[in-house]
Structure 1
Amino acid sequence: MGVTGAGKSTLARAVSGRLALPYHELDALYFNGPGWAVNGELAEDVARLAAGPRWIVDSLGYPEVRDLLWDRADTVLWLDYPRRVTMPRVLRRSVRRTVTREVLFGGNRETWKGWLSREHPAWWSWSQHATRRREVEQRLRDPRFAPLGLVRFRHPRDTAAWLSSL
């Protein structure tokens, strides 16, 4: 987990490949149609995948499924990077997606007009950075999640070193 642009999907795919675990991209489950339509069966879809014995998702953030995933996870990898790391990443990714008109979840695309929206990944990453960190820290203090394994990365080189040790 981490803010938008931290590299959650990239890390989840890499861990999935190294450990031969099924990987599920939560954004692809969440957005399932044109106009960024939200999947009305998200909770059911996520409950099915989380009922499996082994899985990796690239986010624990959507409120509709947050508790379900936290309750069933055994380990959380937290990309707790500063804005100076995440913002260039999210900006590069969004520019690339906008310029190339890359098809995303549900057939959607990032657009130049979309950059003006507070829902745009760049705006979202900037505005939610501190809030997300506080939420995660608060959740990790919750006694219900005490048995949960946590690996907290504060810099990409730490993440890379950990990944290479798998």
Structure 2
Amino acid sequence: MNYQRINIVGSSGSGKSTAGKVIAKKLRYPYVELDEIHWKPNWTESTEEELSFNLKRSLEGESWVLDGNYSRTVPIKWKRVQLVVWLDFPYWLILCQVFSRTIRRSVTKETLWAGNRESLGKAFFSRDSIIWWCLSNLRKVRRQYLAAMSDPGLGHIRFVRIRSRRELANFVAALGQQSD
């Protein structure tokens, strides 16, 4: 089976966006970034209605690669999804990736969704710290996806748990070449 609707999930800093872009490019599918739909200027979150409307519109096509978690979007995104790729890398790797990404974005003043930018102050010394979010949610994310994998109500979805960069590279290399 060739999977046409794919969701890349994992904790913050696991590499969802990078993997999503690579997979979308390889399969020539539209790429949808959930953070792009969620965030508005000045780090304002979309309302539930805005998020639902924009996500539904983004996923209308027959094929797409979506990256992102946002538990409240599961009823929308997993209704038609065929494959969920869970990036479940070791804690140390995720922490290294989130630290280096945050520092790079802060130093280069990289423009993110809706013109937002990360800052070292917000990243390290704020209640909204992405690093604190990552540390405090790693176990929760793992429990969430382990439960989803065994949920009979999600039997229409194939889950693939990726635990290393090598596994991810092998998985991406095999995409589009197999029929299961």
TM-score band, normalised by shorter chain: over 0.9
Residue by residue, what CA displacement relative to the aligned partner does 1:71-115 show, whole Å, maximum 9, x if unpaired? 221100110111111000010000011111111111111112202
Shift of 1:146: 1.3
Count, aligned residues: 164
User: What does residue range 86-105 of structure 1 map to in structure 2 within 5 Å?
Assistant: 86-105=94-113
Q: 1:119 aligns to what SS in structure 2?
A: coil
Distance 1:147 1:106 in 2: 34
Distance 1:70 1:143 in 2: 13
Q: Counterparts of 1:51 and 1:64 in 2: how far apart (Å)?
A: 18
Q: Which residue of 1 aligns with 2:29?
A: 21
Q: Which residue does the alignment assign to 1:68?
A: 76
Alpha-carbon distance in structure 2 between the residues aligned to 1:77 and 1:10 = 13
Which residue of the partner structure matches residue 85 of structure 1?
Answer: 93
Check the 8 A contact 2:39/2:45 in 1, yes or no.
yes
Query: Could you say what the CA RMSD is over the residues aligned between the two structures, in angstroms?
Result: 1.2
Percent of matched pairs sharing the same residue: 33
In structure 2, what is the Cα distance between the partners aligned to 1:96 and 1:151?
30
Equivalent residue of 1:64, what SS? helix
Q: TM-score, normalised by structure 1?
A: 0.93
Aligned with residue 10 of structure 2, among 2, 14, 18: 2
Partners of 2:89 and 2:154 in 1: how far apart?
A: 22
Q: What are the within-5 Å matches in structure 2 for residues 43-54 of structure 1?
A: 43-54=52-63
Per-residue CA deviations over 1:44-76 (Å, capped at 9, x if unaligned) read 0101122221111111x2133122112221100
Say whether 1:38 aligns with 2:45.
yes
SS state of the match for residue 128, structure 2?
coil
Contiguous gaps of at least 5 residues in structure 1: none
Q: 3-state DSSP class of the match of 2:70?
A: coil
CA contact (8 A) 2:102 2:120 kept: no
Please say if 1:127 is aligned against 2:136: yes
Whole-angstrom CA distance in 1 between matches of 2:36 and 2:75: 19
The alpha carbon displacement at 1:118 in A equals 3.6
Amino acid at match of 1:39: S
- State the secondary structure of the residue aligned to 1:152: strand
Q: For structure 2, list consecutive stretches of 5 or more residues without a partner in the other structure.
A: 1-8, 176-180
Q: CA deviation at 1:154?
A: 0.7
